Amino acid sequence: MASKNLLHLSAAAVLLLSVIAAAAAAASYCQPGMAIPHDPLRGCRQYVRRRACGLAAGAGGRLYDWAVKERCCRELAAVPADCRCAALAYFMDGGLAASSGALEGRLLEDVPGCPRETQRELAAMLTTPGECNLETVHGGPYCLSLTDREMPKY
């Protein structure tokens, strides 16, 4: 009887260790240079600024340019679904460079008339149905970890 309980306990421990190992592998997989390009979502920078802040410079005065949105959505769709939220987080906030300790990769910066936080709010929604409508690691089109506030309506 005791050996049977020990066998069940051992099987549960093995299962728990495999889940932890899979999570660790997925975390390292969703990094720039692996499943995420080194410079992810560069095409989304212009779209986010125009859409979130109404900046139309370089668009011939048009605030909404379908080609710019399409490019952004294509870049995001090229990232595996389980890494899209990580790619958006890197796009918004960058990551720490091992050598310098400085943030690298962040494409969203404060510009006159368009604070970075306003851009972040839209960038966090790029996977949603109103934007690119793409699946994420959460099994739906939302990156739950990117904002702790209610999603704004654009």
CA Rg value for the chain: 20
Coil, strand or helix at 154:
coil
In the residue annotation, 62 being an active-site residue is answered as yes
Question: How many residues in total does the chain contain?
Answer: 154
Read off the tokens for 70: 């399409």
Residue partners of 84: CB distance under 8 A and separation at least 6 = 76, 127, 134, 135, 136, 137, 143
Choice among 62, 74, 106, 120 that is catalytic? 62
**Pairing label, strands 95-96, 103-104:** antiparallel
H or E stretch including 103? strand 103-104
Catalytic residue annotation: 62
